[in-house]
Amino acid sequence: MRAGEPQDLFIQVVDVHGNIAESTSVTASLNASLGELEASPTGLGYWQFTGKKVGTYELVLEDNGAIHSVPLTIEAGQPVRIQASMSRDGIAEGDVVLLNAFATDVYGNTLNIPKANTTISCTAGSASFVTNGTWEVEIDNGGTDRSCTVSWSGLLTQTFFDVEDVLLGGAVGSTNTAMTMAAVSCSCSSPCWSPSRGRPLKPPRTGLRTRLTMMRTSLRRRSFAVQESRTKRLSMSATVSRLNR
């Protein structure tokens, strides 16, 4: 039987003389959270059982000391809600991520969602069926508030997530960060593109650095020579002054 769908049981009792009568005071030992038994509007001797929790049980019926056991299997009932989620966070362009979806009945029992009559649409990329309740999504479009919509059995749900943009051959992050990385990575062997000027940047001139270094060295030498010449002149002046005295 399916959860949430009442089923009629026709119950009779037999006395020690073999007389048969419809049962009017039956009780069930099954916990009320798993299922409930109550008098049916169908008529005398009919009792209505409504299962709630998926599982296999033994329904024990008792009427004035007479006991009878009925094997019972409860399956999930009609779906009333769909839930969906991505298999992980931190999704970036180029990733392949699993989309998991399942349905629940009025008592919270889970139902697998099959491929048949199920529609999946994702704004981040295409989805392909893997197994009941699981689809594989190839992430092609980055951005915030990407979504996947699942539709089945007249029910619909959406799950939202963010996708990191992948720039400059695999770097993940914002455009500003990517441009900074590009500026740092410029080398002498290959020009880098200048987004503001719309043309390649010239490679750094290493020869100019060498010439500047040589000029600094030459200036230091000249400064030392001038200082030495001044010292000599002062020394000579002092000598002449002593001689004149």
Task: List CB contacts of 240: < 8 A, sequence separation 6 or more.
Answer: none
Which one has a higher pLDDT value, 195 or 113?
113
**Does pLDDT of 226 surpass 60?**
no
DSSP output for 201-235 = EPPP-HHHHHHHHHHHHHHHHHHHHHHHHHHHHHH
What's the pLDDT at 238? 46
Average pLDDT over residues 214-239: 54
pLDDT in tens, 18-32: 999 999 899 998 899
What's the pLDDT at 184? 45
> Whole-number mean pLDDT of the chain?
80
What's the pLDDT at 183? 45
CATH 2.60.40.1930 matches 81-167: yes
Main-chain phi, psi angles of 221, to 5 degrees? -65, -45
In the chain, pLDDT over 70 holds for what percent of residues?
68
For the chain, what's the residue count?
245
Paired residues of 98 in beta bridges: 136
202-241: burial string, b at 16+ Cβ within 10 Å, e else: eeeeeeeeeeeeeeeeeeeeeeeeeeeeeeeeeeeeeeee
Helix-strand-coil split of the chain, %, nearest 5:
20, 45, 35
pLDDT in tens, 125-144: 999 999 999 999 999 999 99
pLDDT in tens, 65-117: 899 999 999 999 999 999 999 999 999 999 999 999 999 999 999 999 999 99
Averaging pLDDT over each range in 33-37, 199-203, 238-242, which range is the top one? 33-37
